[in-house]
């Protein structure tokens, strides 16, 4: 059949969904949403082999093939084998998928996809999700779909890899289609098994800092709109140790400061460099750059998310306790970007993240909702206003500065609100006897943390700072290096 599109056996689910965009306008949005179930809704309307519209859409039951001969036998065999794997993968998820699909199908497809995209966008602080009360059933289905996706996508990938036990070294290479540009903006981009592989690779790179030349002959643009110590040095040194060339661009050195759009900047930088790192204030900027860039964009820090810091935090916990799943991490203080990223990545790693903040400084309400839906294993999110309750039986107690850059105007009010949330010896007594102290720095001893804990024997703060280097090197290997 001329023009029949045969998906490669190794193609990612997202790239396969994108093929539907030729025939179904809303499918393009489904591809952006990256949803297993939304894909299933359209999959029932199109052939699993050639992706052409079915003559008569089947009921939600076992998928049918069009049966049209393909021009070359090897391609036909590959296509049929691909469809067989799809059927096998579908068997395990079918019962739940059907139940959700029955609820999803009567809804307008475009509205359902919009709800999914809004749900993800709300967690990333693009237009916040503010549904009409009449849309609550739609939102409920969207949240269930998001939870379904988070649980089944890693299983599908492992099955596609031949049902072998996950190998941390291979996990970084098998998770996604290498032809699809990957970004790292909030941490949601990593699946739980992939995150585990990245942490294990970080340990290897820490043991031998010059073991990898993954960026040989490559350049990485590092854009800094704000002053930086750890982020600037760890990324610049990391790119160099991977045998790449870091290009540091400080505030005012790009035409962005004179009104050039983020889109134009991304289009130009994509022609020069192999990745773009951004440390800035508004999270919308990294989203806009990623939307237009054809190379990976890494969020080195924004006001809403700090995922690179949390990769280092998880590596520190892994070093100290031997594994991540089943640990409890207590965060006390401001519900800021670090708190957001701890919830997103911590829960995905199987960690129970307990967050204690004043009500006035609570995290964005959608972040724990999305993070909880994607939690793996024993991963969980709990929110409280009581720092002692959060610290109870914790393996680690974590805090951050009370007044971040941009919060100076309300500094006195913030300090008054956060005074009961100081990390000191009394609060640490509520944690486990072997609990460690974490702080992402810079610290203000005597304010958010006592001097005795910051510099004491239970402090893992300096390991935490060093681990920025190793975790970010593993991240760059994953995003930039060729498979």
For 249-271, the pLDDT digits (tens) are 998 899 998 889 999 999 999 99
Helix, strand counts (H, E) of the chain? 19, 9
Task: Specify which residues 220 forms β-bridges with.
Answer: 246, 275
pTM of the predicted structure, to 2 decimals: 0.68
DSSP letter, residue 360 = G
What CATH fold (topology level) applies to the domain 170-306+469-480? Rossmann fold (3.40.50)
Four-way CATH pick for 307-461: 3.40.50.1370, 3.40.47.10, 3.40.190.290, 3.30.300.30: 3.40.50.1370
The residues near 408 (Cβ < 8 Å, ≥ 6 apart) are none
Is 64's pLDDT higher than 50? no
Query: 440, 464, 470, 472: which one is catalytic?
Result: 440
Backbone angles phi, psi at 343, to 5 degrees: -65, -45
Give all strands (DSSP E) within 284-410, no chain letters: 297-301, 328-332, 352-356, 380-384, 396-399
Q: State the residue for tokens 């799809």.
A: 86
> Residue 99 has which token pair?
């139940």
How do residues 324-379 score in pLDDT, each as one tens digit? 999 999 999 999 999 999 999 999 999 999 999 999 999 988 888 888 877 888 99
Query: 279, 305, 364, 470: which one is catalytic?
Result: 279
Q: Considering Cα of 457, then 458, then 460, then 462, what sign does the dihedral take?
A: negative
Give how far Cα 350 sits from Cα of 102, 112, 150, 169, Å.
31, 29, 13, 19
Backbone angles phi, psi at 143, to 5 degrees: -65, -40
Query: 230, 232, 306, 422: which one is catalytic?
Result: 306
- For residues 159 and 290, give the distance between their C-alpha atoms in angstroms, rounded to a whole number: 30
Report the Cα 477 to chain-centroid distance in Å: 16
Task: Clarify whether 369 is annotated catalytic.
Answer: no
What is the average per-residue pLDDT within 24-45?
A: 44
Nearest to 304 by CA among 335, 330, 345, 332: 335
Nearest to 157 by CA among 137, 138, 172: 172
The pLDDT value given to residue 192: 80
Segments making up each domain of the chain, as ranges: 13-164, 170-306+469-480, 307-461
The pLDDT value given to residue 1: 27
Task: Clarify whether 422 is annotated catalytic.
Answer: no
- How far from each other are the two terminal CA atoms of the chain, in whole angstroms? 32
In the three-class reduction of DSSP (H, G, I as helix; E, B as strand; rest coil), residue 181 is classed as: coil
In the three-class reduction of DSSP (H, G, I as helix; E, B as strand; rest coil), residue 299 is classed as: strand
> Residue 398 has which token pair?
């974590």
Greater pLDDT, 103 or 439: 439
Query: 400, 414, 422, 470: which one is catalytic?
Result: 400
Query: 63, 120, 308, 309: which one is catalytic?
Result: 309
Task: Clarify whether 440 is annotated catalytic.
Answer: yes
What is the average per-residue pLDDT within 127-131?
A: 39
What is the average per-residue pLDDT within 61-77?
A: 37
Asked if 64 and 58 touch (Cβ cutoff 8 Å), the reply is: yes
Give all strands (DSSP E) within 189-269, no chain letters: 219-224, 245-250
Query: 16, 340, 468, 470: which one is catalytic?
Result: 468
The pLDDT value given to residue 142: 61
Task: Clarify whether 430 is annotated catalytic.
Answer: no
Asked if 400 and 338 touch (Cβ cutoff 8 Å), the reply is: yes
The pLDDT value given to residue 144: 60
Task: Clarify whether 183 is annotated catalytic.
Answer: no
Is 61's pLDDT higher than 60? no
Helices (H), 124-229: 136-160, 168-174, 192-207
| Most confident residue range from 100-109, 169-178, 452-461 | 452-461
Task: Clarify whether 4 is annotated catalytic.
Answer: no
How do residues 275-305 score in pLDDT, each as one tens digit? 999 999 999 999 999 989 999 999 999 999 9
Side-by-side strand order, sheet with 275-279: 245-250, 219-224, 275-279, 297-301
170-306+469-480 and 307-461 agree in CATH topology: yes
Give how far Cα 117 sits from Cα of 79, 101, 128, Å.
31, 18, 11
């Amino acid at each position: 059949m001329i023009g029949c599109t045969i998906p490669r056996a190794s193609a990612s689910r997202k790239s396969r969904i994108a093929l539907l965009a030729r025939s179904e306008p809303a499918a393009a949005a489904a591809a952006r949403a990256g949803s297993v179930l939304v894909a299933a809704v359209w999959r029932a309307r199109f052939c699993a082999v050639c992706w052409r519209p079915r003559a008569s859409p089947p009921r939600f039951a076992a998928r049918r093939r069009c049966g049209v001969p393909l021009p070359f036998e090897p391609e036909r065999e590959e296509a049929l084998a691909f469809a067989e794997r799809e059927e096998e993968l579908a068997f395990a998820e079918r019962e739940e998928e059907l139940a959700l699909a029955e609820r999803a199908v009567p809804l307008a497809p475009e509205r359902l996809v919009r709800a999914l995209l809004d749900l993800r966008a709300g967690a990333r602080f693009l237009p916040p999700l503010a549904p009409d009360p009449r849309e609550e059933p739609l939102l409920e289905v969207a949240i269930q779909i998001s939870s379904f996706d988070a649980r089944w996508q890693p299983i599908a990938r492992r099955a596609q890899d031949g049902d072998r036990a996950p190998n941390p070294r291979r996990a970084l290479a098998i998770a996604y289609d290498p032809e699809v540009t990957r970004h790292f903006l909030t941490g949601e981009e990593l699946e739980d098994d992939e995150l585990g592989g990245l942490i294990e690779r970080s340990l290897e790179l820490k043991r031998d800092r010059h073991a990898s030349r993954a960026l040989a002959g490559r350049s990485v643009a590092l854009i800094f709109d704000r002053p930086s110590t750890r982020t600037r040095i760890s990324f610049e040194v990391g790119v160099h140790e991977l045998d790449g060339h870091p290009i540091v661009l400080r505030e005012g050195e790009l035409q962005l400061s004179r009104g050039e759009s983020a889109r134009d900047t991304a289009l130009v930088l994509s022609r020069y460099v192999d990745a773009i790192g951004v440390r800035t204030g508004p999270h919308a900027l990294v989203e806009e750059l990623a939307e237009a860039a054809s190379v990976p964009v890494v969020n080195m820090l924004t006001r809403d998310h700090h995922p690179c810091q949390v990769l280092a935090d998880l590596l520190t916990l892994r070093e100290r306790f031997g594994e991540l799943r089943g640990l409890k991490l207590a965060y006390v203080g401001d519900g800021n970007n670090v708190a957001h990223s701890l919830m997103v990545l911590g829960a995905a790693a199987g960690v129970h993240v307990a967050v204690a903040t004043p009500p006035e400084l609570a995290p964005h309400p959608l972040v724990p909702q999305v993070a909880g839906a994607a939690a793996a294993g024993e991963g969980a999110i709990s929110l409280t206003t009581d720092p002692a309750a959060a610290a109870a039986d914790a393996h680690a107690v974590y805090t951050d500065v009370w007044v971040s850059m941009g919060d100076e105007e309300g500094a006195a009010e913030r300090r008054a609100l956060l005074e009961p949330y100081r990390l000191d010896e009394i609060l640490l007594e509520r944690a486990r006897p072997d609990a460690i102290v974490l702080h992402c720095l810079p610290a203000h001893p005597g304010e958010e943390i006592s001097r005795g804990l910051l510099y004491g024997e239970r402090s893992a703060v300096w390991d935490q700072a060093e681990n920025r280097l190793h975790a970010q090197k593993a991240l760059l290997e994953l995003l930039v290096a060729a498979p």
